[in-house]
Amino acid sequence: MALRKLRPTTPGQRFRVAPQFDEITSMQPEKSLLAPIKKSGGRNDSGKMTMRYIGGGHKQKYRIIDFKRTKFGIPATVKSIEYDPNRTARIALLFYADGEKSYILAPAGLKVDSTVISGPGVAPEVGNSLPLSDIPLGTIIHNIELMPGNGGTLARSAGTYAQLVARENKYATIKLPSGEMRMVLVTCMATVGTVSNSDHMNVNLGKAGRSRWLGIRPRVRGVAMNPVDHPMGGGEGKSSGGQPRSRKGLFAKGKKTRNKNKYSENLIVNRGKK
């Protein structure tokens, strides 16, 4: 995906860096794979605000994505590459040989009329999904399952990927985008390739209104609040606020919050970047 740096004809365009959508081939989503989304505005079922800075935004429909890729041995043709308002990556519409349709995360380099397939023993080519036991070491992968049959949960956002670095007995070792080295069962599925839209990280919205269209409300700094609202609030003038911490008082710089007794603790080989 290419980016456009717009001419500063207005203040909102001065720093705007916009995507070009060159890879998108269809503007109309597949109606049979759409579902409604109810916006919560950050409120729970009793109307209490539990997530701040959420609200408004353009009306959207959810695209039903196949993260499991369980149609083993049935080839599918890529009909179109489409935009998905609910995620940073692009999605690909597949037409299976048996007539079924589905959306998948589009890997970088996947083209219209390409053929993809999933299942044990298939070729480790871009867009194909297969168990970690069948993927060659060193392969770049995404949409990785943590539990067999649960669907891919790791490396799904735009431009991300993981690498299969080792395999021993019933576990494979994967280097995740964060740098963490983690063991996953070799029976878990993964898709070959890098997630599309790698330039998403370089996009600049340019103005506050564009964030509002995405459902993001203005975020208030803790030091700008009163003491009753935030641990870093209060003080005369522009006070620094003391120790950086969250609204609940948890330290924000380096405080470890992971549960030592979590079931997956023994599966993490290396925490990664410090």
**Residue extents of the structural domains in the chain:** 20-201, 220-268
Average pLDDT, the chain: 94
Q: What is the mean pLDDT of residues 216-234?
A: 93
pLDDT at 191 over 90: yes
SS3 state at 44: coil
pTM of the entire predicted model: 0.91
SS3 state at 266: helix
What the block records as the tokens of 190 is: 């993964």
Under a CB-based contact definition with an 8 Å cutoff, are residues 185 and 154 in contact? Answer: no
> What pLDDT sits at residue 164?
97
What is the DSSP secondary structure assignment for residue 124, as one 8-state letter?
-
In the Cβ-directed half-sphere of 68, how many Cα atoms lie within 13 Å? 8
> What pLDDT sits at residue 256?
80
CA distance linking residue 151 with residue 34, whole number of Å: 19
Lowest average pLDDT, out of 45-49, 58-62, 185-189, 262-266, goes to 262-266
Alpha helices in 18-170 (DSSP H): none
pLDDT at 27 over 90: yes
Under a CB-based contact definition with an 8 Å cutoff, are residues 157 and 72 in contact? Answer: no
Under a CB-based contact definition with an 8 Å cutoff, are residues 58 and 213 in contact? Answer: yes
Q: In the chain, what percentage of residues exceed pLDDT 70?
A: 99
Domain 220-268 has CATH 3.50.50.60: no
> What pLDDT sits at residue 274?
58
Q: What is the mean pLDDT of residues 260-267?
A: 90
Q: What is the mean pLDDT of residues 159-180?
A: 96
Q: What is the mean pLDDT of residues 162-191?
A: 96
Residues 6+ apart with CB under 8 A from 126: 107, 108, 109, 110, 192, 193
> What pLDDT sits at residue 253?
81
> What pLDDT sits at residue 241?
79
**pLDDT band, residue 273 (cuts 50/70/90):** low
Per CATH, the number for 20-201 is 2.40.50.140
Q: In the chain, what percentage of residues exceed pLDDT 90?
A: 86
SS3 state at 202: helix
Q: What is the mean pLDDT of residues 30-49?
A: 96
